[in-house]
Structure 1
């Protein structure tokens, strides 16, 4: 309860200070509806704060977060899929012009992909979900060979972002909008220790500091 009380105090500050400061903007968002600039697909990691690292405000980002910032391939056979639903809603209904897939350093999901796990009733969904990170792990092991585990994980974190961009293109409407030049995909990697973001340059096939393009 003590930790929750911190959130209660935080809410009081938000309601009395931050909300009041942006009250007109919030009111406009309610009256006119949302019109976000981009869909941000990020990790559930508590150290990654999409609004904070992008300097965005209310209504700027449509955000979906999951373990590992993974994008499941398009599959009509899935009965429930929150991430797929968010992608479809953002592209078809909100008509966002950009989608950002943002990975990060020290990613627990990528670390887990390098470890062995045995499915149980307690982790069956987690183990299944982590399969989405295995292509990046396999590529890291193949590309770096006997390099350190730390180097392999760092490589896999960035490679995974690229794989998720490829998975995005398996969604028919995403592919259509990209081909028409109406939708742009971006791969980012956020460094927790420095606060820097690197983006994937599709021309040079490497990650470069954001803002240097």
Structure 2
């Protein structure tokens, strides 16, 4: 805890002072250009990866960067409502779904179902990834664990892009050119980011 408290002091003394005008401009409104959907994993830092400042990214984080299929429901839906707000209220120009290497959620989904029995809400959430998991289990030999994992992580990103296109307002804005969707795959240990090429059906290294 002390480390966090020290961080607060350092932020106020250094970072805030260096960007005082920026924070002042953000006082009354936010106008992020991008909705960034990624995993809750503590090793993934969207602003660090993209070198963006406060006010640029509207960030949604959840286990395994999942996007529930669109449906109208009276339930409390955190991810769905945040997507709705970002697109319809904030008017973001881009949506990025960013998966990553060594994803614990994807690994758990590939493992025995009983592994999550003591975490019922997590188990229920990961049911969203079952269609992807089932395809991977059929396509990749069971003894090639590493291949299954990275294929699961990448295929999961592509699946969430498909889910996003099932949101009527996202579909309309994408087709009209008002909104751009992109799938990223971040390698933790190398810092590399691979971007999904829809035409080629594969992830390609981002080189600027």
TM-score tier, shorter chain, comes to over 0.9
Structure 1 residue 117 displacement after superposition = 2.8
The whole-number CA distance in structure 1 between the counterparts of 2:127 and 2:142 is: 23
1:73 matches 2:69: yes
> Which of 24, 27, 41 matches 1:45?
41
Residue by residue over 1:47-82, the C-alpha shift from the partner in whole angstroms, topping out at 9 and shown as x without a partner, is 000000000001110001000000001121250111
The whole-number CA distance in structure 2 between the counterparts of 1:209 and 1:78 is: 41
Spell out the pairing of 1:110-189 with structure 2 (5 A cutoff): 110-118=106-114, 120=117, 122-146=118-142, 148-189=144-185
- Work out whether residues 136 and 157 of structure 1, in 8 Å CA contact, stay in contact via their aligned partners in 2: no
The whole-number CA distance in structure 1 between the counterparts of 2:143 and 2:111 is: 16
1:28 matches 2:25: yes
Spell out the pairing of 1:56-67 with structure 2 (5 A cutoff): 56-67=52-63
- Work out whether residues 114 and 137 of structure 1, in 8 Å CA contact, stay in contact via their aligned partners in 2: yes
The whole-number CA distance in structure 2 between the counterparts of 1:57 and 1:15 is: 15
Where 1:83 maps in the other structure, the secondary structure is: helix
The whole-number CA distance in structure 2 between the counterparts of 1:205 and 1:70 is: 20
Structure 1 gaps of 5+ residues are none
**RMSD of aligned Cα (Å):** 1.3
Residue by residue over 1:2-45, the C-alpha shift from the partner in whole angstroms, topping out at 9 and shown as x without a partner, is xx1101001100011100110110000113x1110100001000
Where 1:34 maps in the other structure, the secondary structure is: coil
TM-score (ref. length: structure 2): 0.96
1:98 matches 2:94: yes
The whole-number CA distance in structure 1 between the counterparts of 2:74 and 2:140 is: 34
Where 1:106 maps in the other structure, the secondary structure is: coil
The whole-number CA distance in structure 2 between the counterparts of 1:124 and 1:155 is: 25
Paired residue total: 207
Match of 2:15 in 1: 18
Where 2:108 maps in the other structure, the secondary structure is: helix
The whole-number CA distance in structure 1 between the counterparts of 2:120 and 2:158 is: 26
Match of 2:83 in 1: 87
